[in-house]
Amino acid sequence: MKQKRTTGKSRAAEAPTIVASEDAGSLCARLRQLRADRGWSLEALAAASDVSRSMLSQIERGRANPTLAVAVRIARAYGLSLGELIEEPSRQSAIQVIRSDDPAHIFRSDKLCQIRTLSPLNLEKDVEFYEVVLKPEGELRSAPHFEGTREFLTVEKGRLRVESGKDTIELNAGDSASYRADVPHALVNSGRSDAVVFLVDIYK
């Protein structure tokens, strides 16, 4: 849509548009989101970009497409390149998947014990999630973790003995337990078949 021409720097706003009409909807939504993320009013954006409030309002409502000069000013106001402003960011799935055959998540593997990490490896976290498989006579003994650490587990298969400090409990398939992990603790397969356990460490 054509706009009224004025003098000075705002003349650049009337040069040929850089956004095709079919892309205007996504651009105006992106501009509205950028401004909302910053908590800026139209007046604040106008002051930062040297683009009039009325022009910004029309662009955000999809009634005008920005020209090259206007788009550059808006991009600079947000600390973005022109490409970052006019190109819709590629959508990345919010779902992170850990495949069962991913060797990077095998924390330990020997003839009696296998531990597979089920939480992302690239995150600094206060919670860690594991799958533990103990063969008959297998055990997992751990030194005390940081003060306040607790472990929560569910026995998926088999029979398990949990030791935490001086306390001991026997668990069967389907049972769950929580216990202190800031003292010496252990998981011991007390049955005759594999024990499969889902284990969560929560750090204080």
CB 189 within 8 A of CB 136: yes
Query: Given a cut of 90, is residue 173 above it in pLDDT?
Result: yes
Rounded to whole angstroms, the Cα distance separating 10 from 70 reads 8
Q: Which domains does the chain have, with CATH numbers?
A: 9-86 (1.10.260.40), 103-202 (2.60.120.10)
Query: Is pLDDT larger for residue 45 or for residue 29?
Result: 45
Q: What is the DSSP string of 136-204?
A: TT-EEEE---STT-EEEEEEEESEEEEEETTEEEEEETT-EEEEE-SS-EEEEE-SSS-EEEEEEEE--
Residue 139 tokens read as: 């055990």
pTM, whole model, 2 decimals? 0.55
The number of beta carbons lying within 10 Å of the beta carbon of residue 101 is 6
Q: Which pLDDT belongs to residue 122?
A: 63
Q: How confident is the model at residue 2 (pLDDT cuts 50, 70, 90)?
A: very low
Rounded to whole angstroms, the Cα distance separating 85 from 5 reads 24
Q: Which pLDDT belongs to residue 7?
A: 40
Q: Return phi, psi of residue 34, to 5°.
A: -60, -40
Q: Which tens digit of pLDDT belongs to each residue from 93-118?
A: 667 788 888 887 888 999 999 999 99
Rounded to whole angstroms, the Cα distance separating 64 from 49 reads 17
Query: Given a cut of 80, is residue 27 above it in pLDDT?
Result: no
User: Chain-wide mean pLDDT for the chain?
Assistant: 84
Name the one residue in this structure whose structure tokens are 């356990």.
197
Query: Given a cut of 60, is residue 79 above it in pLDDT?
Result: yes
Query: Given a cut of 70, is residue 54 above it in pLDDT?
Result: yes
User: Any bridge partners for residue 116, and if so which?
Assistant: 106, 131
What one-character DSSP code corresponds to residue 27?
A: H
Q: Which pLDDT belongs to residue 137?
A: 93
Stretch among 4-18, 114-128, 173-187 having the lowest mean pLDDT? 4-18
Name the one residue in this structure whose structure tokens are 């956004």.
19
Rounded to whole angstroms, the Cα distance separating 101 from 117 reads 12
Q: Which tens digit of pLDDT belongs to each residue from 119-156?
A: 887 665 788 999 999 999 999 999 999 999 999 999 99
Residue 49 tokens read as: 């970009």
What one-character DSSP code corresponds to residue 11?
A: G
CB 14 within 8 A of CB 70: no
Edge-to-edge strand order for the sheet containing 176-180? 106-109, 113-117, 127-134, 195-202, 150-157, 176-180
pLDDT over 90 percentage in the chain: 48
